[in-house]
Amino acid sequence: MFRRASILVAVFSILLVYLRVPVHSIDDIYIQLTTGNVLLLTAHPDDECMFFAPTILALTALQQQPEDSGSVYSACLSVGNADGLGSIRKHELGGSLDLLGIDTNKRFLVDHPSLQDNFTAQWDASTIADVLKPFVLDNRITTILTFDKYGVSGHPNHKALPDGVKELMRALPDVRLFTLRSLPLPIKYLTILAPTIHKVDLDANAFLKYVDRTTTAFFLDQFGLDLDKIPRAKLATPEPVYVSGVNEYMTAVQAMREHDSQLVWYRWLWIGFSRYMWVNHWDEVKL
């Protein structure tokens, strides 16, 4: 019994050490921040930390590096007034964005009569595009991150956002859109299994790239071969994946706690078990 408990403690300790450091792919979103500005587009206050914290924390950390010129912006298209708490939720959103590292002068909060928090409301794509366009132009946004067509939770306000951005892209074709991948219910609640699996995958991909570079350098040095003329397997371009470490997860929890008016029992289950508190997986959407 004691031996079994010792093994479990050892495994858990190794897992915590492995999860301590955040990782991400060197992908198009990450690269975009070095050349332009990235906008996180959400529907309601608390979306930013419930769903997008792993990505936002990684990108706001990157923007602090002096060699990188891009900035992270936030746009929330409602004040979350479904229960008459809009004025409270405005304040809560500010506290959450402070913790996530988005500067106060890079935030856009909308209170539009046609874009109200409502589970039965269908937001119009043209209205979303019209509201966003001046902010995107004024701040030279090159990349927009938002929900996919399933909205992760299925909320119709979430699901409307990618259609609104696609409408915007018809007027501003240089803007790129990445959507957060919605997953089936069992996978959505993998908790710490999700970051572990994705870290192994990212580490394996990094190892393959290292092997490719090392063998290339060896053959060039030893044989003077022109490898451009030799067929080689092409490594797949990594999909955008952001995995939080323990510290980043705790920051996301703190940000969620800023939304005190929303902390009903089932949101605590989300905080404790949702993979989106740990992992974000993105897909690019083109017209």
Q: What domains can you pick out in the chain, each with its CATH number?
A: 19-195+237-285 (3.40.50.10320)
Which of 181-190, 235-244, 255-264 is least confident?
235-244
Sheet holding 241-243, edge to edge: 23-24, 241-243, 279-285, 176-180, 141-147, 37-42, 72-76, 107-109
pLDDT in tens, 99-138: 999 999 999 999 999 999 999 989 999 999 999 999 999 9
Please give the DSSP secondary-structure letter assigned to residue 230: S
Q: 62 to each of 34, 72, 81, 93, 188, how far by Cα in Å?
A: 9, 10, 33, 22, 27
Environment class of 151 (CB within 10 Å of its CB; exposed 0-12, middle 13-18, buried 19+)? buried
Q: What is the pLDDT, as a whole number, of residue 121? A: 87
Tell me: pLDDT of 94 over 70.
yes
- pLDDT at 88 exceeding the cut of 90: yes
> What is the C-alpha separation between 126 and 164, in angstroms, rounded?
6
Q: What is the pLDDT of residue 181?
A: 96
152 conformational bin, left if phi > 0, alpha if psi -120 to 50, beta if neither: left
Q: Which helix (H) or strand (E) holds 69?
A: none
The model's pTM is: 0.84
Nearest to 40 by CA among 7, 83, 77: 77
Query: CA-based angle 198:199:202, to the nearest 5?
Result: 85
Phi, psi of 242, deg, nearest 5: -125, 125
pLDDT at 10 over 60: no
In percent, the amount of the chain with pLDDT more than 90 equals 61
First to last CA, the chain: 59
183: left (phi over 0), alpha (psi -120 to 50) or beta: beta
Mean pLDDT over residues 265-269, rounded?
93
Distance, in Å, from the CA atom of 127 to the CA atom of 140, rounded to the nearest integer, reads 20
Q: Which pLDDT value is given to residue 20?
A: 59
Which of the pair, 69 or 82, is modelled with greater confidence? 82
One-letter identity of residue 273: F
Instruction: Please tell me the distance from the alpha carbon of residue 11 to that of residue 27, in angstroms, as a whole number.
Output: 31
**Mean confidence (pLDDT) of the chain:** 84
If 0-12 CB within 10 Å is exposed, 13-18 middle and 19+ buried, where does residue 5 land? exposed
3-state class (DSSP) for residue 46: coil
Give residue 149's pLDDT: 97
Residue 287's alpha-carbon distances to 166, 182, 234, 284, in angstroms, are 7, 20, 27, 10
